[in-house]
């Protein structure tokens, strides 16, 4: 796959604008994550015939937890430390996942491996409080923890498709491909990443979490951020043509592209919310749910890699010598004479 050359030059002005846009993307993800979870829960409740809170009910629950005093038990203090570490990683993931724009060439940008590792590590930290409790809930917590540990190996086919380049450069290469044409393999790649965000209602991680007070509020917010990061990352790869990229047209055109990218992000998030709400109708026990999720991520990524191989492989033009040798009759030798 060839990349068209660009005459864009990264200046200090563009660098400052990119930093400001990264800050806006991070704040937008932090604010929108609880609303996204509330939307998924409300849609899932409507489909299942259950009564659920409003979309803003998730934010109200988080604010309510921050106003409550926490328990001063030793296990809760240890869990509070890992929750804070998980929240920091979740915020870092929100800053690294593109929402409405791509970083230009020359600007430091993370790769898909680094982003996936940060999100998986955040999930591991947020799963540790589920283990520090007695009885059946501790067993369920260990199952969730093992499923998160095996998540990064399941993403190997997806990571191989991106290779060693950063995510912004990869998305800039495929943004001109149509999702219904040559870009269809990358839609499969996005679906594989979308399957990471799938959690069934039978896991009941929120009810099993022993944290309370501000620590629980931080835990809920961090989980919502990690989930929205996976959904946004899947939408970016499946439909990367909506992401704005700085060009020689000027800052005004780039700003309009960012607004259009933000609107497209809302559309992608709305579609993802409906799909995740439909998964609430799937009834699976926790061990089988983890196996199905890991198998779905790996097999879809493997299929996407296989289908996208002709697109990802650079097409080499044959040289004149090779073309002449191919057209030459095999009965003639190198000097043009007839072989014995």
pLDDT digits (tens, 9 = 90+) for 170-185: 998 888 888 888 888 8
pLDDT value for 115:
95
Residue 337: pLDDT band (50, 70, 90) is very low
- Gap between the Cα atoms of 162 and 241, Å rounded: 17
Q: Which residue has the higher pLDDT, 334 or 116?
A: 116
Query: What does pLDDT average to over the chain?
Result: 82
pLDDT value for 201:
59
Mean pLDDT in residue range 29-45: 91
**pLDDT tens figures, 250-309:** 788 888 989 999 999 999 999 999 999 888 887 777 778 888 999 999 999 999 998 887
Residue 44: pLDDT band (50, 70, 90) is confident
**Do residues 244 and 206 touch, judged by C-beta distance below 8 A?**
no
pLDDT value for 75:
57
Which pTM value belongs to this model? 0.86
Q: Which residues of 276-305 are buried (b: 16+ CB within 10 A; e: fewer)?
A: bbebbeeebebeebbeebbebbbebbbbbb
Percentage above 70 pLDDT, the chain: 82
pLDDT value for 268:
94
- How many Cα atoms occupy the beta-carbon half-sphere of 146 within 13 Å? 12
Reply yes or no on whether the pLDDT at 339 is more than 50.
Answer: no
- Gap between the Cα atoms of 197 and 185, Å rounded: 20
**pLDDT tens figures, 204-246:** 666 667 777 888 889 999 999 999 999 999 999 999 888 988 8
């Amino acid at each position: 796959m060839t990349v068209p050359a660009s005459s864009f030059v990264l200046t200090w002005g563009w660098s400052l604008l990119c930093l400001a846009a990264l800050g806006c993307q991070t704040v937008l993800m932090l604010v929108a994550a609880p609303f996204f979870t509330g939307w998924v829960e409300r849609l899932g409740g409507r489909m299942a015939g259950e009564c659920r809170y409003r979309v803003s009910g998730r934010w109200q629950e988080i604010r309510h937890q921050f106003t409550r005093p926490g328990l001063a038990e030793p296990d809760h203090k240890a869990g509070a430390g890992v929750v804070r570490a998980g929240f920091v990683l979740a915020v870092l993931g929100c800053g690294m996942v593109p929402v409405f724009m791509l970083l230009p060439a020359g600007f430091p940008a993370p790769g898909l491996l680094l982003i996936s590792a940060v999100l998986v590590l955040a999930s591991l930290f947020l799963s540790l409080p589920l283990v520090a409790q007695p009885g059946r809930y501790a067993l369920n917590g260990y199952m969730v923890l093992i499923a998160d540990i095996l998540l990064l190996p399941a993403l190997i086919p997806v990571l191989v498709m991106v290779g060693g380049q950063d995510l912004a450069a990869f998305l800039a290469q495929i943004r001109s491909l149509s999702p219904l044409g040559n870009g269809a393999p990358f839609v499969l790649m996005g679906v594989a990443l979308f399957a990471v965000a799938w959690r069934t209602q039978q896991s009941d991680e929120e009810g099993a979490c022993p944290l309370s007070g501000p620590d629980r509020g931080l835990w809920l917010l961090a989980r919502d951020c990690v989930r929205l990061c996976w959904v946004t990352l899947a939408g970016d790869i499946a439909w990367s043509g909506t992401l704005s990229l700085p060009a020689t047209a000027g800052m005004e055109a780039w700003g309009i592209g960012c607004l259009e990218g933000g609107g497209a992000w809302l559309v992608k998030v709305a579609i993802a919310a409906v799909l995740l709400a439909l998964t609430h109708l799937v009834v699976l026990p926790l061990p089988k749910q983890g196996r199905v999720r890991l198998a779905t991520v790996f097999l879809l990524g493997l299929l996407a890699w296989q289908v996208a191989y002709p697109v990802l492989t650079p097409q080499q033009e044959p040289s004149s010598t090779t073309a002449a040798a191919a057209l030459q009759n095999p009965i003639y030798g190198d000097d043009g004479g007839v072989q014995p």
